[in-house]
Amino acid sequence: MFTLYCGLDLSSKDSQVAWANPKAEIVREQRIPLTRDRLQSILASHQGRVLVGCEATTNAFWVHDVLSAVGVEMRVAPPYQLKIISQTCYKTDRIDARKMAMLLAKDMFPSVWVPPIQLRDLRELSRLRAQLVRTRSQWIGRHHSLLHRWGLSTTRKGVEILKDRALPRETGVGTRATDQEILRLVAHLDARIRWTERETKRRIREVPAIRGLIRLLMTIPGVGICTATVLALEVGRIDRFRGFKTFARFCRLTPGVRQSGDMHRNLGLAKDARRDLGWLLTEDAWTARRVDPYFAAQYDRRTRSGIKPCRAIVPVARSLAHAIYLVWKHQTTYQKLFKEKSSRPVG
């Protein structure tokens, strides 16, 4: 039983603190500098058990580490869900801290999984690679746009444009110089991506549990080592999801729903989810469609009915997420789990 509940509204330099008793009554408020020593002295000096809560900001995890080191229990809440629960017309640091303290006291505080330090450290490399890949795609698109502006075209895709030669002389000196600089940037980004992949593989060898899980996920069509690594580091534990629907929502692959009486309307993909994982699984769904007949048939069936390719691939990605969930949950390979066609993942 906790004797005090503490809501922390974190900023870059300081934190607004609100204390509530078990009856959800605010008993004290203060603003403190956001330093390691100050946090430990304020929160570890109270008699009895203290439960602390804050939003999942960029500095929430190191605050969690600092308080855990002195035996203080802390929960981190997803900002989107916290906003829905404590919706108000007024939003200040003081109001946010008070709301979090009262939600903790009422046992209504949503919380996310806080991964261990070792996994968070590996996450930085995988997230760096994802950012580099997105940046490279932007510059490749810029190259194709430049070609189209001058009436040129190419069937090459992705990093294959690095094999292209210089533009014709009639395009002008400035255009050719711009294009060559774009190609140099793409080549540099490609080299840095390869470095992050090599470094990530080297670091993963130090974590046997993650290495085994990655090998398991790579048995799924379309899932390579990069996707398997990101899933292992970002999801962490599959048992924290109640079922596949919860996992698919976490990966931003399920649409929102608005229903009232007989009215039922599907909305866009849920916003309170991991957009990066949705993008990653959608990209892998294109690969799965090319290498596996089941996913290819699922995609073709939708495109034949008139659905655009960019929309038809989303159910394939959702089916791929279903396969990932089942393989991870049962700790068996894709081939063993889906021997029978009737047991294939659903779209």
Do 199 and 215 share a domain, yes or no?
A: no
Q: Is the pLDDT of residue 150 over 50?
A: yes
CA distances from 186 to 125, 135, 140, 146 (A): 19, 9, 7, 14
Report pLDDT for 217. Answer: 94
In a domain, residue 60? The reply is yes
List pLDDT tens digits, range 273-330.
788 899 899 999 999 999 999 999 999 999 999 899 988 999 999 999 999 999 999 9
Do 275 and 219 share a domain, yes or no?
A: yes
Q: Which of 164, 182, 206 is the last residue of a domain?
A: 206
- Measured distance between the N- and C-terminal CA atoms of the chain, rounded to whole angstroms: 44
User: Cα(57)–Cα(2) distance, rounded to whole angstroms?
Assistant: 24
Taking residues 160-173, report their average pLDDT.
60
User: Is the model more confident about 264 or about 213?
Assistant: 213
Q: State phi, psi for 73 to the nearest 5 degrees.
A: -80, 135
In a domain, residue 266? The reply is no
DSSP 8-state code for residue 276: H
In sign, the C-alpha dihedral spanning 17, 21, 26, 28 is: negative
In a domain, residue 112? The reply is no
Here the CATH number for the domain that contains residue 42 is 3.30.420.140
Q: State phi, psi for 289 to the nearest 5 degrees.
A: -65, -30
In a domain, residue 263? The reply is no
In a domain, residue 91? The reply is yes
Read off the amino acid at residue 38: R
The rounded percent of the chain whose pLDDT value lies above 70 is 90
Do 218 and 319 share a domain, yes or no?
A: yes
Q: Is the pLDDT of residue 246 over 80?
A: yes
| 3-class DSSP assignment, residue 266 | strand
Taking residues 254-268, report their average pLDDT.
75
List pLDDT tens digits, range 43-82.
777 767 889 999 988 889 999 998 888 888 899 988 877 7
Helices (H), the chain: 36-43, 60-69, 79-85, 93-105, 117-149, 173-204, 208-217, 225-235, 244-250, 275-291, 293-304, 309-330, 334-337
**Strand-pair partners of 16:** 9, 31
User: Cα(220)–Cα(336) distance, rounded to whole angstroms?
Assistant: 11
Assess contact for 242 and 219: CB atoms under 8 A. no
In a domain, residue 111? The reply is no
In a domain, residue 251? The reply is yes
User: Cα(240)–Cα(176) distance, rounded to whole angstroms?
Assistant: 53
Count other Cβ atoms within 10 Å, centred on residue 164.
13
List pLDDT tens digits, range 32-48.
998 888 888 887 777 67
Report pLDDT for 170. Answer: 66
- The boundaries of the domain holding residue 77 are 4-105
User: Cα(10)–Cα(59) distance, rounded to whole angstroms?
Assistant: 8
Do 218 and 201 share a domain, yes or no?
A: no
Work out how many domains the chain is built from and give that number.
3
Read off the amino acid at residue 81: Q
Do 240 and 175 share a domain, yes or no?
A: no
Taking residues 20-29, report their average pLDDT.
91
Do 62 and 88 share a domain, yes or no?
A: yes
Q: Which of 61, 84, 105 is the last residue of a domain?
A: 105
